[in-house]
Chains A and B, each alone.
Chain A
Amino acid sequence: MIQDLRRAEEGTTFECDLCIVGAGAAGITIASQFIGRRPSVLLLESGGLEFEEDSQALHAFENLGLPRIRDTRYRFFGGTTNAWDGRCAPLSAGDFAVRSWVPHSGWPLTPADLQPYSAAAHAACGLRTTEYGSQLAASIGAGLPPLDPAKVSPHFWQFNPEGPYRFGPRHVAALAAASNVRVLLHANAVNVRAAPNGGTVDSVDIRTLEGRTGKVRARFVVLCGGGIENARLLLLSNNVSGRGLGNGRDLVGRFLMDHPRRVCAEVLPRDAHAFQDMFSAYRSQEGARVVLGVELAPALQAEEGLLGCGALFYYTDDELSGTLALLRLLGGAESSEQPSELARDVWRVMADMDEIVINVRRRVLRPGKDVLIRPRTVTMLCDVEQAPNPDSRVTLSRERDALGCSQARVDWRVTDQERRTMRTLTLAVGQEFGRLNFARTRLGEWLAAPTGSATYHEAHHHMGTTRMADSPSAGVVSPSGQVFGIDNLYVAGSSVFPTSGHVNPTLTILMLSLRLADHLLARV
């Protein structure tokens, strides 16, 4: 059932067994696991089913640290999956381990704890395979480059072959049809009320932008608002403790992480087509769409005290490419429009017939491969793991949003360890490509000196602000996702990640959410 708080009676109290705050990847996944089960579920969504400017404005925040883009999160049904490009990969075993050179590293879980949820998490993103190693390489017919495994390893990322998987449109019908699940739109959670003893939560205060208020009484509450909003809501919920819920040790909001991202090198391939053929998209026998890149080998990380780091290669098309000209001509033919540069394009096709022949052969002999267009430039784009840093944090601002709640104040800090990691990976890739006679690489000027400050693009992956730990002295939530000291309050999503790895977080978010759903199904 789908309802809208704007059309409910003022002061309505909604009763349910489980209240989920936030209808993004984590919230929708948990709610979906309860469809057809006994417990009643209320899924709160701040926005509507479509994008709305005024709901989106509630995401405004005060920025203190490195520059950040404001609209990297989406506040309507489906959350930020409404905008993601769908790139997925699981964390490696090393990402879960305690590393002496990475302070605060180590998960209270092992890969084996998440493994039972891997297949379901992949399916939930529309991914076709759970393999990422040599089995996947064999299935897609990829000839992996013989890189020195002590320095650099090939690394696969996977995409949904049908395009980015939007959780909102994919799940709305099933959730609407479920008799035990209610989706409440335009319901902004503004306070999670703790019982006077502080050991449980009683209710969640909700409010619309028009001023209508309500309350949710639930036996269990799960916060699924994302890496910034989960911390903000805990800090805002201060009716019992002035420091906010679960914040007895001043850990809520700390350890804010993202994946610092930047172009690290220009690559000059010896054979542009062969290079692009290797480091490009593949389609496996199961129909999976995967992309091959590289990552920093764990041995080199340990040896030089570095973090995880991965890179993909991006191509800008050469305007003189015959294939591009042919595609323009065919596009013009299809749309009955006169191509703007007909004579030039015909000449480019004739002059670049070899590229066209190669693409015809690829289309027939390797139907899963993308069309090759000779690149003008090849760039290496790195995503680096961010070291957990207690000074990188989310706190509450003095600025208020339209609901009267304190905005988030984001102080994102990146240390020199991330820069050193990117530099080492780029140099190692350059050495390996040179040794194999694949390409030469030109190190980005910002990485020329061994040390120094840098700015980064964020990857819009907000993590770590309610980190998971074995004990309340080291984190905010337990390995099950329960807020330490509060029996019926849980947190899901990337805010519970103790470390981030270098891969995109959604797959791990889904595995953790499915695991939490199992836990809650046994408890609720």
Chain B
Amino acid sequence: MKAEVWVRVGFYLVEAAVLSLALIGGLMLAGSAARRYGVTFPALTSHRMIAIVLGLVAVSAALGELAGPHVILHYYAAATILAAGAGAWSLSKAATALAARPKAP
């Protein structure tokens, strides 16, 4: 039995919002790490954030409706980006601290 349409739409919006937090958080951490290394990373403007949220709503709804509730690839993707961003940020932080140490004469 399928849930009411408005329940499903509401669920996809909430799911996309939660995943957006992880995805955008991961991208922000990755951007911060990239800047430490002097690498150019696209800025996360409000337009881009809205695009990410809407894209996730679309992915969430498509997977939920077509593949069923047990396919959660978008969760894995968001979790991977968050983990990668956090890892890159941690490494860059450590590398910066190492570089800032006084060098032996």
Query: Which residues of A does B touch, CB under 8 Å?
Result: 139-141, 273-274, 277, 282-285, 354, 357-358, 361-362, 364-368, 372
In the complex, given contacts A282-B1, A361-B15, what are 17 additional A-B residue pairs having Cβ atoms less than 8 angstroms apart?
A140-B1, A141-B2, A283-B1, A284-B1, A354-B72, A354-B76, A358-B69, A358-B70, A361-B72, A362-B69, A365-B2, A365-B3, A365-B64, A365-B69, A366-B69, A367-B3, A368-B1
Closest-by-CB residue of A relative to B1 is: A368
27 A-B Cβ contacts within 8 A?
A: A141-B1, A141-B2, A277-B68, A277-B70, A282-B1, A283-B1, A284-B1, A357-B72, A358-B70, A358-B72, A361-B15, A361-B64, A361-B70, A361-B72, A364-B3, A364-B8, A364-B69, A365-B8, A365-B64, A365-B69, A366-B1, A366-B2, A366-B3, A366-B69, A367-B3, A368-B1, A372-B70
Chain A residues within an 8 Å CB radius of B69: 358, 361-362, 364-366
Number of interface residues, chain B, beta carbon within 8 A: 14
Q: Verify if B11 is at the interface (C-beta below 8 Å from A).
A: yes
A354-B75, A357-B75 known; A274+B1 contact, CB < 8 A: no
Set of chain B residues within 8 Å of A354, measured between Cβ atoms: 72, 75-76
CB-CB contacts of B65-78 with A at 8 A, as 1s and 0s? 00011101001100
Map CB proximity to A onto B1-24 as digits: 1 under 8 Å, 0 otherwise. 111000110010001000000000
Q: When chains A and B are docked, how far (Å) is the Cα of A261 from the Cα of B96?
A: 69
Distance (whole angstroms) from the CB of A492 to the closest CB of chain B: 36
Contacts of B3 in A (CB 8 A): 364-367
In this complex, what residue of B is CB-closest to A361? B69
**5 nearest interchain CB pairs?**
A361-B69, A368-B1, A362-B69, A364-B11, A365-B69
Query: How many angstroms between the C-alpha atoms of A366 and B68 in the bound complex?
Result: 9
Taking CB atoms, residues of chain B closer than 8 Å to A361 are 11, 15, 64, 69-70, 72
Interface of A: prevailing SS: helix
Residues of the A chain whose Cβ atoms lie less than 8 Å from the Cβ of B72: 354, 357-358, 361
